[in-house]
């Protein structure tokens, strides 16, 4: 579906879902930002205390993969609702930030996490 769905369509889906439930009254910028972090924490919890090998195995199990997918979707929903409600252009924001990141982490200094430059 990623190849056939654009961000505006996702924002419209979130908007329609929330308006049908009269949730605008609960969705201010602060609450939505809190929700982004809360949902991100739920995603993190699935990986916490697991080795890389355990994570790889977990992602091969269909039931575990579905749990991870649900949490990813919850994070996306929260972020999409924030950008939709406050009229942010997510693609534009992302591109602008990538330009900043390119300047901050030039390939010749950041490639393979060069220890001399590693500020991550």
Residue 1, domain member (yes or no)? no
32-80 per-position pLDDT tens digit: 999 999 999 999 999 999 999 999 999 999 999 999 999 999 999 999 9
pLDDT of residue 114: 57
Number of domains in the chain: 2
Domain span at residue 51 reads: 7-88
pLDDT in tens, 72-119: 999 999 999 999 999 999 999 999 999 999 999 999 888 876 565 555
Specify the 3-state DSSP secondary structure of 108: helix
Specify the pLDDT at position 36.
Answer: 98
3-state SS, 18-83, equals HHHCCCHHHCCHHHHHHHHHHHHHHHHHHHCCCCHHHHHHHCCCHHHHHHHHHHHHHHHHHHHHHH
* Three-class secondary structure of residue 69 per DSSP: helix
User: SS3 of 51, please?
Assistant: coil
Quote the pTM value.
0.87
pLDDT at 109: 84
DSSP element (H, E) containing 57: helix 52-58
Q: Where residue 44 sits, what CATH number does that domain have?
A: 1.10.287.1080
On whether both 83 and 98 belong to a single domain, the answer is no
Pairwise CA distance, residues 86 & 31, whole Å: 13
């Amino acid at each position: 579906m990623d190849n056939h769905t654009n961000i505006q369509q996702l924002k419209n889906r979130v908007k329609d879902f929330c308006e049908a439930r009269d949730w605008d009254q609960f969705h201010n910028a602060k609450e939505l930002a809190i929700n982004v972090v809360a949902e991100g924490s739920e995603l993190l919890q699935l990986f916490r205390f697991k080795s890389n090998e355990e994570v790889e195995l977990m992602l091969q199990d269909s039931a575990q993969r579905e749990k991870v997918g649900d949490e990813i979707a919850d994070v996306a929903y929260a972020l999409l609702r924030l950008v939709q409600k406050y009229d942010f252009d997510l693609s534009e924001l992302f591109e602008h930030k990538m330009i900043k990141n390119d300047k901050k982490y030039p390939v010749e200094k950041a490639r393979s996490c060069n220890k001399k430059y590693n500020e991550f």
